Amino acid sequence: MERYLQGLGVSPGIAIAPALLFFHDRYDVPTYAVTDLDAEMARLDVAMRETRNDLENIYERVVAELGERHAAIFQAHLMILEDVTLREELTEYLVEHRHNVEHILDTLTKQYVRTMDSVDDPRFRERTADMLDVMDRVLRHLLETERPNLRRLEQESIIVAHDLTPSDTASMDTNKAIGLVIEAGSVTSHSAILARALEIPAVIGIVDAPESVKAGSLVIVDGSSGRVIVDPTRETCKRYVKAQQRLAARRAKLLRVTKGKPACTRDNVNVMLSANIELPLEIEHSLNVNAQGIGLYRTEYLFIDRDSLPDEEEQYEAYAAVARAMQPHPVVLRTIDVGGDKFVSHLQTLKEDNPQLGWRAVRFCLAHPEIFKTQLRAIFRASAHGTIEVMFPMISGLEELRNVKTLVSEVACELDEEDVSFDRNIKFGSMIEVPSAVMLADLLAQENDFFSIGTNDLIQYLLAVDRVNEKIAYLYEPAHPAVVRMIHQTAQAARVHGIPCSICGEMAGDALYTELLLGLGITALSMAPVAIPLIRAEISHIHLEEARTLAKQVLKMRTAKEIKSVLAERHLARAKKYDYLMAPDQFMFSDEDNS
């Protein structure tokens, strides 16, 4: 019987394939008495050596495919493997109980996990997952049992799992793993990041995902809506296959007809379209869709999932590489934005009751100037290799901005004294994602080179809605009149003071809002690379003066429903007329399907 499951879409697109259930269940471990203790320890040594080889091979592959930053987690795994204390505990337990070494390893691992889980600190939960990943490998070598992996899949599959470890995502066969359905994780988890980077449709937050789907069951994943359909009927499959084919054809057509062309309105006004990226491999995707730069490079991903801070040299190499690759286009680096839903275990020591409103972004950087200045030094040095701009996240007022700029000035002076080359005309801007920043936009505009509105956070702070809480997801509404008014107020403050104002949140990549955003005064849009061809096509059929008239009408509207109805009618009329309709739900039941 057809069943619909609703989760959170973290990577858009449609995938249809049989389910492959991926488990990390603990398995039966034999228990028996031993007399030759040296032989048991020798077995352990062999298993650990084989595990070390596994991890080193994965590390080298990840370095080649994703870069050293994402391979650092496996260096941490090697450190766990080499832990002298762990070996001493195993030896002591073996001498005392004289049981086979795999039973001892399994027992100690379970004890360790219970201890870690009893501590109310996310750092320990992260370490537990890492340790389990390593110990599972050792145990499987001792048992001579093949470790479940996703490296070589026999057919195209939808991977259904409770969670995916770093090892799982790093080794995944991305040619045949065409969709992901995951119970745990977040928009910043390994699996979500990789799915977006490789354009694999993915949905997270499906409760009891592995238990809700039988192995081999046909599954449809709609990564745009967060919908998962299990055992779809023939008619449902027919609709989604048509939607998938039409989506693929239109993406290809859009890319073909828009590549190499600027985003230009019907009345010849250019709109800069840039890409949001997290991983080095997304640079190629950005270039392929003719991005006019990187509008948001999330630098915090250099800091996450590792046991030590990236030093100045590592950061410099990462920033310089993207600057060189995107020449002559600009690259906007967002300074480290840890905290909230991006937890960095070795930097934070206290669990916060409300992390989204807590010690994050520039607040964290100002509390740790030594970390912040190291990043700024790396950014300044990288600016010698391309056009780099810098924006500061979660600025809430003038004093905060000025404190940040003081540290920026200190770093510039230090590099000058050291005779280090850097761009002395580098531009600095603020992310507008806190309501107080909108209210002070006229003042902030006087001390910034540009604004970039982070609509994801602005909406959740303005409407008091946790954007990843499924219970109140319906309240997260980009078309809310208050959101529209705040975007307009910010854009107008930027215009008055002669600075550009872009949007780098999810609204930028949603064609439903493109005409309105331009009419409100937005001058540039930055989005996931996959969305750029569609937005470029949308802009080419918009007249800016008409967009401004629309914006005036929308600013007088009282409800989100009223606003979305008008925007949808206009967008659908354009998209159908010029044949670039892209959202699957919008053409799932089109006239063509019913004919």
Asked if residue 409 is part of any domain, the answer here is yes
Asked if residue 258 is part of any domain, the answer here is no
CATH of the domain at 196: 3.50.30.10
Q: Give the per-residue pLDDT at 354.
A: 60
Percentage of the chain exceeding pLDDT 90: 50
280 and 394 housed in the same domain: yes
- Residue 353: how many CA atoms within 13 Å on its side-chain side? 0
Q: Give the per-residue pLDDT at 430.
A: 98
207 and 291 housed in the same domain: no
Asked if residue 244 is part of any domain, the answer here is no
Please pick, among 24, 70, 285, 504, the residue that the annotation labels catalytic: 504
559 and 427 housed in the same domain: yes
Asked if residue 257 is part of any domain, the answer here is no
136 and 221 housed in the same domain: no
Domain total for the chain?
3
465 and 510 housed in the same domain: yes
Question: Token pair for residue 434?
Answer: 């806190």
Q: Give the per-residue pLDDT at 322.
A: 96
How confident is residue 382, by pLDDT bands cut at 50, 70 and 90? very high
Tell me which of 115 and 179 has the higher pLDDT.
179
Whether 205 has a pLDDT exceeding 90, the answer reads no
Whether 440 has a pLDDT exceeding 80, the answer reads yes
- State whether residue 196 is helix, strand or coil: helix
Question: Token pair for residue 6?
Answer: 């609703």
493 and 516 housed in the same domain: yes
Question: Token pair for residue 45?
Answer: 């040594």
- Give per-residue pLDDT as tens, 215-263: 899 999 998 888 999 999 999 999 999 888 888 887 888 888 777 778 9
How confident is residue 594, by pLDDT bands cut at 50, 70 and 90? very low
How confident is residue 141, by pLDDT bands cut at 50, 70 and 90? confident
**Domain boundary at 95, 113, 143, which?**
143
How confident is residue 590, by pLDDT bands cut at 50, 70 and 90? very low
Asked if residue 557 is part of any domain, the answer here is yes
- Give per-residue pLDDT as tens, 67-108: 676 677 777 788 888 877 778 888 898 999 999 998 888 888
3-state secondary structure 537-572: HHHHCCCHHHHHHHHHHHCCCCCHHHHHHHHHHHHH
Contact residues for 368 (Cβ-Cβ < 8 A; gap 6+):
347
- Give per-residue pLDDT as tens, 340-368: 444 444 454 445 556 566 667 898 899 99
Please pick, among 190, 329, 488, 571, the residue that the annotation labels catalytic: 190
**Domain boundary at 115, 143, 171, which?**
143
Question: Token pair for residue 40?
Answer: 């048991």
Enclosing domain of residue 124: 37-143
Contact residues for 336 (Cβ-Cβ < 8 A; gap 6+):
299, 300, 303, 361, 364, 365, 371, 372, 375
What are the distances in angstroms from CA 374 to CA 381, 413, 416, 534?
11, 14, 15, 38
Tell me which of 188 and 60 has the higher pLDDT.
60
Whether 554 has a pLDDT exceeding 50, the answer reads yes
Asked if residue 225 is part of any domain, the answer here is yes
407 and 528 housed in the same domain: yes
Whether residue 501 lies in the annotated active site = no
Given a contact cutoff of 8 angstroms between Cβ atoms, the answer to whether 451 and 412 are in contact is no
Residue 177: enclosing H or E segment and its boundaries?
A: strand 177-182
- Taking residues 570-581, report their average pLDDT: 87
**Domain boundary at 185, 207, 230, which?**
230
Q: Does the predicted model carry a pTM greater than 0.95?
A: no
Asked if residue 32 is part of any domain, the answer here is no
277 and 224 housed in the same domain: no
CATH of the domain at 118: 1.10.274.10
270 and 127 housed in the same domain: no
Contact residues for 42 (Cβ-Cβ < 8 A; gap 6+):
none
Asked if residue 236 is part of any domain, the answer here is no
329 and 454 housed in the same domain: yes
Note the helical H segments in 327-454. 361-367, 369-382, 398-417, 435-439, 441-444
Least confident of 179-188, 203-212, 448-457: 179-188
How confident is residue 150, by pLDDT bands cut at 50, 70 and 90? confident
Which runs of E-coded beta strand occur in 369-478?
388-392, 427-432, 450-453
CATH of the domain at 531: 3.20.20.60
How confident is residue 593, by pLDDT bands cut at 50, 70 and 90? very low
537 and 418 housed in the same domain: yes
Whether residue 368 lies in the annotated active site = no
Tell me which of 25 and 284 has the higher pLDDT.
284
481 and 401 housed in the same domain: yes
